[in-house]
Amino acid sequence: MIKVGIVGATGYAGCELVRLLNAHPEAEVVAVSSVSFEGKALSEVYPSYLDINDMVCESADEVVSKSDVVFAALPHGLSQELAADCVKNNVKFIDLGADFRLESEDEYKEWYGGSFLDKSLHEESVYGLPEFFRDDIKGKRIISNPGCYTTCSPLALAPAVKNGLVELKGIICNCASGVTGAGRKPSQGSHYPELNEGFHAYKAGCHRHTPEIEQTLSRLSGEKVTITFVPHLLPVNRGILATCYADVKEGVTYEQIRKAYEEFYRDEYFVRLLPDGMYADIHNIKYSNYCDISLHFDSRAGKLIACAAIDNMVKGAAGQAIQNMNIIFGLDEKTGLMITPPAF
């Protein structure tokens, strides 16, 4: 059994890791940590885990000492020292935060206000979006797990971008997320009377996930990609819908685009390319590691409209992190993640 430790276990992503790993046949959660709830049982924080996981939250050092792999579900700026400690102790490290996501330290400084504490760790780290970078992930020690928007939007656009079917200028990613994406700490924006029966954009054109999406699309296309990214807050607990727009290159047909998507995702278990006429819907991927993609073509404007739906807490966080763990330990990627979304 793989011995798993979770640092930041009482946040939403950490809590979701516990839920999913409880059903993993090859892994066992052996230690959990939480600064806010150190000394308390996880089931005191989340009563739904009573008699399922009553593990007491310890220090991060204790978690590292007991684990083969550590998942860090922490705010940005808190993972780099933990990663160094894991590497020193020959423990695999999977970061659900942002510290290792950007390849450029200048961009990290611009968007997060931090710096690379140990450049060698950043050079060793691998960006863990399995559908694109699976071969890079195998056997690695430090995995940077992509965020929710930065998983959903590239999955929607990748085949068109990689195959040169759309213009790289003018791409728009219009996304809407459930409120769990804002984390567990209360704020006025996530307060029920403020959120309920509302729907609004936020951080339009200046969200921190922008350079990460651009980085992935640039890597896939081989050219620098600049996007317009506008996130929105949905009055639901979980789920992300990304509606992405791109100008189709002259002479390219919808049939060519559809074929490119079919070939690109043919062997990807967790990506479901929907039949023409269907629309990706967050209802149909809830609690699962699936990404549903639907394609639409505006022939009048010459635009591809690619919609993708994921559960932001699973494929956008904990599920994808477990998918990465499975890869680095040589397991089938689907292990522990064969979750059927509820029909209602």
Q: pLDDT-derived band of residue 182, with 50, 70 and 90 as boundaries? A: confident
Q: Answer yes or no: are the C-beta atoms of 237 and 309 closer than 8 Å.
A: no
Question: Which of 107-116, 187-196, 221-230, 246-255 has the least mean pLDDT?
Answer: 187-196
Q: What angle do CA 77, 79, 82 make, to 5 degrees?
A: 135
d(CA 176, CA 309): 10
Residues noted as catalytic: 148
d(CA 215, CA 106): 13
d(CA 14, CA 145): 13
Q: pLDDT-derived band of residue 188, with 50, 70 and 90 as boundaries? A: confident
pLDDT of residue 183: 85
Whether the predicted model's global pTM rises above the 0.75 cut? yes
pLDDT for residue 191 is more than 90: no
d(CA 111, CA 109): 6
> Where in the chain is CATH 3.40.50.720?
2-144+315-328
pLDDT of residue 136: 96
As given in the structure block, the two tokens for residue 201 are: 């954009």
Residues 6+ apart with CB under 8 A from 9: 15, 17, 18, 32, 33, 34, 42, 57, 73
Q: What is the mean pLDDT of residues 252-266?
A: 98
Residues 6+ apart with CB under 8 A from 316: 146, 147, 148, 149, 151, 152, 181, 240, 310
pLDDT for residue 187 is more than 90: no
Question: Exposed e or buried b for every residue in 63-72, given b needs 16+ CB within 10 A?
Answer: bbeebbbbbb
**How distant is the alpha carbon of residue 187 from its chain centre?**
22
pLDDT tens per residue across span 115-161: 999 999 999 999 999 999 999 999 999 999 999 999 999 999 999 99
> Where in the chain is CATH 3.30.360.10?
149-312
pLDDT tens per residue across span 17-59: 999 999 999 999 999 999 989 999 999 999 999 999 999 999 9
Q: pLDDT-derived band of residue 234, with 50, 70 and 90 as boundaries? A: very high
Count Cβ atoms within 10 A of the Cβ of residue 313 and give its class: 0-12 exposed, 13-18 middle, 19 or more buried.
buried
d(CA 86, CA 143): 12
pLDDT of residue 189: 83
CATH class of the structural domain 149-312: alpha beta
- Does an H or E element contain 340, and which? none
Q: What is the mean pLDDT of residues 86-114?
A: 97
Task: Give the number of residues written for the chain.
Answer: 344
Average predicted confidence (pLDDT) for the chain? 96
As given in the structure block, the two tokens for residue 77 are: 């700026």
pLDDT of residue 307: 98
Superfamily of chain region 2-144+315-328: NAD(P)-binding Rossmann-like Domain (3.40.50.720)
The percent of residues above 70 in pLDDT, for the chain, comes to 100
Three state DSSP letters for 98-167: CCCCCCCHHHHHHHHCCCCCCHHHHHHCEECCHHHHHHHHCCCCEEECCCCHHHHHHHHHHHHHHCCCEC
Of 41, 34, 37, 44, the closest CA to residue 14 belongs to 34
Of 339, 342, 344, 343, the closest CA to residue 16 belongs to 339
